[in-house]
Amino acid sequence: MDMLIGGKHISSDDLEDVTNPYDGTVIDTVPIAHRQTADLAIQEANNAKYDLFEMSAFKVSNKLFNVVEKLKENREDFAKLLTLEVGKPINESLVELDRSIETLKLAAEEAKRIHGESVPLDAGLNGKGFFAFTQRLPLGVVAAITPFNYPLNLTIHKIAPAIACKNAVIIKPPTQAPLTVMKFAELLNEEFPDGIVNTVTGYGSEVGDYLVTSADVNKISFTGSVTTGLMISQKAGMKKVTLELGGNDPVVVLKDADIEKAVRGVINGAFLNAGQVCMGVKRIIVEDDISKEFAEKLVEETEKLVMGNPLDKSTTLGTLISEKAAIQVEETVNNAVQKGAKILSGGHRDGAFYEATVIDDVTTDMDLVVNETFGPVAPIIHVNSVEEAIKVANDTDYGLQAGVFTNDYYNAMRCAQEIEAGTVFVNKQSTFRTDNMPFGGFKNSGVGKEGIKYAVEEMTKTKLIGLNLR
């Protein structure tokens, strides 16, 4: 598939295969662009941004709604492509499509609600006699740099609000899974003037870096790993940056919890998309009194998962993004076992597949839970009190989301207030998001919020206009 720059299809002398992690077949190729092409995209976006600025909010909203309809019509095709390039079960790809449609709809609605407010200057010294108001203006050009695990919805979380508030966009999709996003950019381009939506494929370390350091890009909206995020924050200079980074989310299960409910939550949270979810359940902190019963039930439910061809509707556990990624998970689990953890279920790898794995007696010093393990692993850490559970939950550099299972009102509120994370759910796993909620972590999990209304705030600048009426 070619890149889309200034409304034209552009390739490169260098091409990269996009392979299906399930069977290694080549799905398509994409151009590996270099700095010059990234520069062309920046120029085209800067030229086109005025066309969008001139468009009424009414028209922008209607056009986004038109794209909603097109995406709905092509839902099945997009889902199939997503499964082929990411290896996620088709039912999960269909859910990503439904969420993408919802995200786009929220942006189409938000396009009509972007406005400033009147400001009472007379509340300040010497401010009497003014009529003042603010305007929310587009930044200009927004570059969206996105990861492989939810490539479509996470890209829409950036480009849809960016366009809703009249910015031109440049998308740098993940090299391992660029196709669904590139196909979606074509749909957007049918509605908007050429140059408003551009895609640049190629390595993050080259074209991503070029976008980050360019003075002609006004905002970087990045989702990906902490390592890349830190590098971006150091290089971005005088531009706005939103960083949606990794997670190491805890789920706390206290002794009075509804164990079945907690188990259902953990199954979804730890194994969804083969555990490759930023807000996936990565640490299960369980009170000792119930840990045996909890672990037994978790194993029982884990063993019901069906690993297989991701295109098969009965499959509930697909592959990881690559064999290399699966080997990394295998090594991390084996390392924890060498240090005393016990595998209760799973623990085997086959190519890019890694079994859904429940691992008990995990301690807080093991790499498995110190770093973000991006695979289908449910590590159980034992604690003896709510105080200890909160301490362990906070014993991490990350702070994306968290879940607490308890029926005790006071402990629920205590955990909700004391766990350091962007979101804490009570009686729900961390792995839950609606596309309108403010989403974004504390600590190393990021800077800024997404969720359409919140993303729009970060993609506009505020101007004050004051009329001296005296």
**Taking contact as CB under 6 A, which single stretch among the options 101-109, 183-191, 244-252, 343-351 is the one that binds ligand NAP?**
244-252
Phi/psi of residue 395, each to 5°? -85, 65
- Identify the residue among 114, 141, 245, 389 touching ligand NAP (CB under 6 A): 245
The reply on whether position 416 binds ligand NAP by CB under 6 A is no
Long-range pairs, 189-192, Cβ under 8 A, ≥24: 189/4, 189/7, 190/70, 191/63, 191/64, 191/66, 191/67, 192/52, 192/63, 192/163
The reply on whether position 205 binds ligand NAP by CB under 6 A is yes
User: How many residues in the shown chain lie near ligand NAP by CB under 6 A?
Assistant: 32
Instruction: Find the shortest distance in angstroms from Cβ 246 to ligand NAP.
Output: 3
- Identify the residue among 6, 21, 138, 204 touching ligand NAP (CB under 6 A): 204
- Tell me the residue ranges of DSSP E strands in 60-154: 118-119, 130-138, 141-145
Q: How many alpha carbons lie under 13 Å from residue 63 in its C-beta half-sphere?
A: 21
**Taking contact as CB under 6 A, which single stretch among the options 64-72, 170-178, 332-340, 457-465 is the one that binds ligand NAP?**
170-178
Instruction: Find the shortest distance in angstroms from Cβ 444 to ligand NAP.
Output: 10
Compare residues 89 and 174 and give the one whose CB is closer to ligand NAP. 174
Which helix (DSSP H) or strand (DSSP E) does residue 10 occupy?
A: strand 8-10
Instruction: Find the shortest distance in angstroms from Cβ 227 to ligand NAP.
Output: 7
For residue 360, list its beta bridge partners: 342
Joined tokens for residue 296: 């037994």
- Identify the residue among 138, 193, 246, 346 touching ligand NAP (CB under 6 A): 246
Sketch the per residue contact string, 348 through 387, with ligand NAP: x for CB under 6 A, - otherwise.
------------------------x-x-------------
Q: How far is CA 26 from CA 19, 333, 355, 448, in A?
A: 4, 30, 24, 37
State the catalytic residues: 244, 278
- Identify the residue among 22, 78, 148, 192 touching ligand NAP (CB under 6 A): 148
The reply on whether position 247 binds ligand NAP by CB under 6 A is yes
- Identify the residue among 19, 100, 103, 146 touching ligand NAP (CB under 6 A): 146
Residue type, position 199, single letter: T
Residue type, position 220, single letter: I
CA separation for the pair 448, 243 (Å, rounded): 6
Sketch the per residue contact string, 430 through 469, with ligand NAP: x for CB under 6 A, - otherwise.
----------------x-----------------------
- Other Cβ atoms within 10 Å of 69 Cβ, number: 12
Long-range pairs, 227-230, Cβ under 8 A, ≥24: 228/204, 229/446
Q: Residues 6 or more apart from 337 whose CB is under 8 A from it?
A: 343, 347, 359
The reply on whether position 274 binds ligand NAP by CB under 6 A is no
Alpha-carbon 413 to chain mean position: 27
- Identify the residue among 66, 134, 225, 268 touching ligand NAP (CB under 6 A): 225
For residue 221, list its beta bridge partners: 144, 242
Compare residues 149 and 430 and give the one whose CB is closer to ligand NAP. 149
DSSP 207: I
CA separation for the pair 259, 266 (Å, rounded): 10
- Identify the residue among 278, 286, 402, 452 touching ligand NAP (CB under 6 A): 278
Compare residues 154 and 262 and give the one whose CB is closer to ligand NAP. 154
**Taking contact as CB under 6 A, which single stretch among the options 11-19, 20-28, 95-103, 226-234 is the one that binds ligand NAP?**
226-234
Alpha-carbon 163 to chain mean position: 18
395 neighbors 387 (Cβ within 8 angstroms): no
Residue type, position 73, single letter: E
- Identify the residue among 52, 97, 212, 456 touching ligand NAP (CB under 6 A): 212
Compare residues 270 and 400 and give the one whose CB is closer to ligand NAP. 400
- Identify the residue among 89, 224, 375, 399 touching ligand NAP (CB under 6 A): 224
Q: What residue ranges bind ligand NAP (CB under 6 A)?
A: 145-150, 154, 172, 174-176, 203-205, 208-209, 212, 223-225, 228, 231-232, 244-247, 278, 372, 374, 400, 446
